[in-house]
Amino acid sequence: MKRIDHAEASSHFIAAREHVEFHDKRLWDLRQKRDREAAAVPEWEELRSLASQIKEHTLARLPDYLAQFERNATASGMRVHWARDAAEHNQIVHELLSAHGARILVKSKSMLTDECEMRAFLETRGIEIVETDLGERIQQLDGEPPSHIVVPAVHKLRTDVARVFARTLGTDPKNSDVSYLAESQRRHTRPYYVKAEAGMTGANFAVAETGSFVVCTNEGNADLSANLPKLHIASIGIEKMIPRIADLGVFIRLLSRSALGSPITQFTSHFRAPRPGSEIHVVLVDNGRSERLGMHDFWHSLKCIRCGACMNTCPVYRRSGGLSYGATYSGPIGVIIDPAFNLRKYSALPFASTLNGSCSNVCPVKIDIHEQIYKWRQVINQRNQLPIVKKEAMRMAGKVLSSPKLYRAAVKAANAGLEYLPRSMIYNPLNAWGRSRELPKAAGGTFRDWYVRHRGAGK
Amino acid sequence: MSARDDILARLGRNLPLCPPLPETPLFDSPASGLKEKFVENLERMGGEFVELPAKRVPGWIREKFPGAAVILSAAPEVAGNRPLESIRDPRELEDVDVGVVRARFGVAETGSVWLSETELKVNALGFLPQHLVVLLEMSRLVPNLHHAYRDSGFHEARYAVLMTGPSATADIEGILVRGAQGIRSLTVVGC
């Protein structure tokens, strides 16, 4: 399988300047809103610790909690199915739809169904699928995967959406008013809730104690998808389990604050049993998760609650766009999850990071994201998956960094360069770093110069 | 081996060391000003708030939604003009202009109201109408989500939703649009 070239792919995104600038600003705005919300909750850090501990505990007892969930869900009338991988998941969903004679499926956003590439599978079997989340629908109509796990079309400007909707929904191509576009999608989608024979949701949390699962949306589209058709299918990754209802207090307080900077999503919905005369089928999906649990350095990534805070804060993600990662999960969390799915294909991704650690600092469940990124780089190097250019650059850097003499000479040369080079050499089209940013003023001298001056050499 | 047993066995072989499950505190703060906090957060999330005696609610609904042809109410205080008992299929709610329901309780921290099939009668009542009016007794406010999740309703209801403001989206350029898919407005009536 071909290696994803993140740097090459992001160059296409970067080429459209107004897109990059908006993307960067919009995601940083989400990060700042998250900061304001977090600061307003005095017990924020305690909540993060609790969330992390609850998740670690649950993962370490996952077989017990999954069995408890299954027992309780079955007792209250839900049906529980198990899927080892994407193919089994898609097969189960297709069989359920066929058994109910369902031709139209309304679904709310689920990264898991994207991970399983379910839409393509079902569409070739004659099922019409309507994504009901606005962002996900835009992406579906444009034939693109989501670029962000919370805001799927965040890389698009309103004019892009107007073009997509004009082509697919017949709206006025010249009208890119956001309310007009959202209203057009509303009018287009609502009849489907009434027509569809089946509805589908993912889940943010599954609660072992009650056998129930929780879905968070702002549009209420999960509630419409689940509460109108007689068949509700919920695809749930096995790592979504938490032990008790009371634990939801911790996670719901963290989730939307971390994701969008709002105290809660507009709709936080809890499904414990089907309505009389209808059915709920839960598909519990492994797809590599049980294997990841055994990876000593990487199993903590299973704690993820998919808030996207790490993406919003990541300078590389903000300036390269989610699609450049070529994977279902992008940004820092994607960088540590994707190589576990396919090391060769995603071997460039752990290098799409500055290792600044901001991702770990905002993570509501305290995943050591940047440390895992560093560890993946080592794994990739050991397994000989580094591209030759990167290897050569690293070899040179290794030489320079391991020799004090060479290092000092390099620092001097770089500082002199910043000071004396003409602006045209730094801020020219060939130097990506000079584009849309001022380089910082070089310090007056190096730390070593200062140290030698003040403490004397040899001490 | 079934997929189930296979997955459980694979997990069983890969389990990390198990840390203890912590108790979750209630994070109590002084319980004063619950109503003010509730209203502030509800309004932040795009909901509206009014306080009225229950008997004045039907008149107020007619004033607020003068064009409403179909009003469907699950709250005993408000009659509506289509009997809820006649509903056989939730899809019949497609043309409802205003839905009315009484919440079990509210959450000050987030401005949310709690609704389940017991309150809604037909779950779609919370989503398919154009507008929703939720009655809430102000003595039924809990301070935060930890208190909310101690409610026995989560163990009993088939379906329960913490609803906080109308259906909303900011999926295009972060511009907030209210009335994305479901209800265009949510008004909580303190009564």
**Residue range(s) defining the domain that contains residue B169:** 33-190
Nearest-angstrom CA–CA distance, A100 and A96: 6
User: Is A338 within 8 Å of chain B by CB?
Assistant: no
Residues A338 and A420 in one domain: no
If you measure CA to CA, which chain A residue comes closest to B15? A60
| Distance (Å, whole) CA A247 – CA A57 | 12
Residue A338 within any structural domain of the chain: yes
Does residue A129 belong to any structural domain of this protein?
yes
Judge whether A397 lies within some domain: no
Nearest CB neighbour to A224, from listed B44, B175, B182: B182
Contact call for B111 and A179, based on CB within 8 A: no
pLDDT at residue A417 is higher than 70: no
User: What are φ and ψ of residue B6, in 5° steps?
Assistant: -65, -50
Does one domain contain both A375 and A279?
no
Give the torsion sign (CA, B139, B97, B186, A248).
positive
> What is the pLDDT at residue A412?
73
CB atoms within 10 A of CB A398: 10
Contact B151, B113 (CB under 8 A): no
What kind and span of H or E run contains A55? helix A44-60
Contacts of A246 (CB under 8 A, 6+ apart): B24, B146, B149, B150
Give the total number of structural domains in chain A: 3
Tokens of A136: 């996900």
Name the residue among B15, B22, B24 with its Cβ closest to that of A293: B15
Q: How far is A50 from chain B (nearest CA, A)?
A: 7
In chain B, the number of structural domains is 1
- Per the listing, tokens 């080429």 go with A15
Domain match, A213 and A328 both: no
Q: Within this chain, do residues A245 and A150 fall inside the same structural domain, yes or no?
A: yes
B165 found inside a domain: yes
Number of CB atoms found within 10 A of residue A243's CB: 18
Residue A175 has, within 13 A of its CA and on its CB side, a CA count of: 14
Is the pLDDT at A459 greater than 50? The verdict is no
In a domain, B24, yes or no: no
Residues 177-206 of A with CB under 8 A from B: 178-179, 181-183, 186, 189-190, 193-194
**Cβ <8 Å between B148 and A249:** yes
pLDDT of residue A298: 97
- Using the predicted structure, report yes or no on whether residue A73 has a pLDDT greater than 50: yes
Q: Which of A361, A387, A413 is the last residue of a domain?
A: A387
Contacts of A247 in chain B (CB under 8 A): 24
Last residue of a domain, one of A362, A387, A412: A387
Q: Are A190 and A103 in contact (CB under 8 A)?
A: no
Could you tell me the CATH number of the domain that includes residue B59? Answer: 3.40.50.10420
- DSSP H/E element including A253: helix A247-259
* Separation of CA A127 from chain center: 27
Cβ-Cβ contacts under 8 Å, A133 against chain B? 171
Strand partners, A83: A285
CB-CB neighbors (< 8 A) of B161 in chain A: 223, 267-270
Q: Determine, for residues B171 and A151 on separate chains, whether the beta-carbon distance falls below 8 Å.
A: yes
For range B151-159, the mean pLDDT: 98
Listed residue (B9, B122, B185, B45) closest to A275, CA to CA: B122
B128 to A219: CB separation less than 8 angstroms, yes or no:
no
Query: Tens digit of pLDDT for each residue in B10-21?
Result: 999 999 999 999
Under DSSP, is residue A192 helix (H, G, I), strand (E, B) or coil? Answer: helix
Closest residue by Cα to residue A50 from A268, A314, A251: A251
DSSP result, B36-84: HHHHHHHHHTT-EEEE--GGGHHHHHHHH-TT---EEE-STT---SS-G
Instruction: List, as ranges, residues 14-53 from A with C-beta within 8 Å of B.
Output: 22, 26, 29-30, 43, 50, 53
Mean pLDDT within A61-87: 98
> For A68-92, what is the mean pLDDT?
98
The answer to whether the CB atoms of B177 and A179 lie below 8 A apart is: yes
Q: B92 CB contacts (<8 Å, ≥6 apart)?
A: none
**In-domain check, residue A23:** yes
Determine the structural domain holding residue A161 and report its residue range: 45-290
Is A127's Cβ below 8 Å from some Cβ in B?
no
In this structure, the answer to whether residues A183 and A245 fall within a common structural domain is yes
Cross-chain Cβ contact B157/A262 below 8 Å: no
Q: What pLDDT, on a 0 to 100 scale, did the predictor assign at position A241?
A: 98
Burial class (CB in 10 A: 0-12, 13-18, 19+), A76: middle
Q: Please tell me whether residues A282 and A380 are part of one structural domain.
A: no
Chain A, 354 to 413: residues with Cβ < 8 Å from chain B are none
Nearest to A37 by CA among A362, A323, A258: A258
Per-chain mean pLDDT for chain A: 93
Crossing angle between the packed helical segments A158-168 and A134-141, to the nearest 10 degrees: 60
Point out the residue among A70, A84, A291 whose CB comes nearest to the CB of B3: A84
**Residue A178: closest CA among A192, A162, A167:** A162
Mean pLDDT, rounded, for A320-332 = 97
ipTM for this model: 0.98
Structure confidence by residue, pLDDT tens digits, A12-48: 888 889 999 999 999 999 999 999 999 999 999 999 9
Q: Do A153 and B175 touch (CB under 8 A)?
A: no
Q: Do B173 and A22 touch (CB under 8 A)?
A: yes
A109 shares contact with chain B (CB less than 8 Å): no
Residue B172 to residue A138, Cβ atoms within 8 A: yes
Nearest Cα of chain B lies from the Cα of A259 at a distance, in angstroms, of: 13
Give the residue from A89, A179, A267, A282 with the most B CB atoms within 10 Å of its CB, the best one to mutate: A267
Beta strands A104-107 and A198-201 are: parallel
pLDDT number for residue A416: 67
pLDDT at A286: 98
Q: How many residues does chain A have?
A: 459
A54 and A95 in a single domain? The answer is: yes
Neighbours of B10 (CB within 10 A): 17
Say yes or no for a CB contact (<8 Å) between B8 and A193: no
Does residue A50 sit in the same domain as residue A33?
no
Beta bridge partners of A395: none
- pLDDT confidence of residue A428: 58
A169 falls within a domain: yes
Contact criterion met (CB < 8 Å) for A60 and B18: yes
Residue ranges with strand state E in A12-159: 79-83, 104-107, 128-131
Which positions in chain A touch B163 (Cβ < 8 Å)? 266-267
The pTM is what? 0.92
Q: Looking at A328, A356, A387, which one is the last position of a domain?
A: A387
Q: Which of A161, A186, A238 sits opposite B181 (nearest CB)?
A: A186
Residue B104 included in any domain: yes
